Amino acid sequence: MLKRTLFFTNPSYLSTRQQQLVVQNTETKNEKTVPIEDIALVVLENPQITVTLPTLQQLNAYNVAVICCDDKHMPASMLLNLDGHHLQSELFRQQLDSTQPLKKQLWQQTIQCKIKNQAAMLKAKGKPMGALLSLAASVKSDDTSNREGTAAREYWSLLFGNGFIRDRYGDAPNPFLNYGYIILRAAVTRALVGSGLLPTLGIHHKNRYNAYCLADDIMEPYRPYVDDAVYELWESGNKDMILDKETKAYLLNVLTCDVKIGKVKRPLLVALSHTTASLARCFSGEEKKIAYPVF
């Protein structure tokens, strides 16, 4: 079942009643309810939002990722379940015991899929794919020749023009990409926890200050879906790239877009769980390939 992402921008009081999230607008006093079991992510943007502790406990019990925004209205922190799977101890051990050759092979698969999805996204937009497919075919174990970086430079120039530089603090459309990637990262982290994996221990990313290295690894082939949404906003005439409430809501809808894994189309949020579950089976030795989407 496709779960919902709730985005709160108004002053609200969140509580629970009979397994329902009760949302009261503190200005209008209007009240709505949502079954907690139907929720995947909650984004709290307004600083005048109050959430009761029992509400957080219930959201946690259903593996709902609660995202809190900072004073600039950007996602800044996340509450996750610490006990997301009934075999969690066993799965943790398998993840910790995974060998370097396995991790290098999994990273090779990840980068190959990412570059192929970038090429497919360009093709879908009627743009040339350049050398992306040949770069994908030449990715080595652990991507030791950095085909990811080479492909990225060509991909961004083909998508947004030669003058565009992908930079976290860069000009538009970078702020939209940042926001979309933050939401995607949160959704991937939620899926990893639901599959009983530690999002901190990556297969490639190893930054000592990064709490979600594995999420940063696994989200790579999914990034083109965010890029696609941002490109549509860019082409629609929103050149100023104002990150307002409507734009954020539009980017959140990336989580519901259809993606194809094998012969089956699934909403992205559902596909993430298939991907992370397949990763857990790779760690256990049951499978050798991660189930990634094909754009």
What is the secondary structure of 205-271 as a DSSP string?
A: ---TT-TTHHHHHHTGGGHHHHHHHHHHHHHTT-TT----HHHHHHHHGGGGSEEEETTEEEEHHHH
| 45 close to 7: Cβ distance less than 8 angstroms | yes
Tell me the CATH number for domain 4-79: 3.100.10.20
Numbered ranges of CATH 1.20.120.920 in the chain? 88-284
Q: 260 or 163, which is more confident?
A: 260
State the pLDDT at residue 288.
92
Measure the CA–CA gap between 194 and 184, rounded to whole angstroms: 15
State the pLDDT at residue 236.
81
The tens digit of pLDDT for each residue in 50-91 reads 999 999 999 988 888 898 988 888 888 888 776 655 667 777
| 193 close to 81: Cβ distance less than 8 angstroms | yes
User: Which residues fall within 8 angstroms of residue 132, CB to CB, at 6 or more apart?
Assistant: 115, 116, 118, 119, 122, 151, 154, 155
Neighbours of 205 (CB within 10 A): 17
Distances, alpha carbon 54 to alpha carbons 5, 9, 19, 20, 81, in Å: 20, 21, 11, 11, 14
- The label of the residue with tokens 């209007």 reads 30
Q: Using the predicted structure, report yes or no on whether residue 13 has a pLDDT greater than 90.
A: yes
pTM listed for this prediction: 0.86
Q: State the CATH architecture for 88-284.
A: Up-down Bundle (1.20)
Neighbours of 206 (CB within 10 A): 9
β-pair partners for 159: none
Numbered ranges of CATH 3.100.10.20 in the chain? 4-79
| 3 close to 59: Cβ distance less than 8 angstroms | no
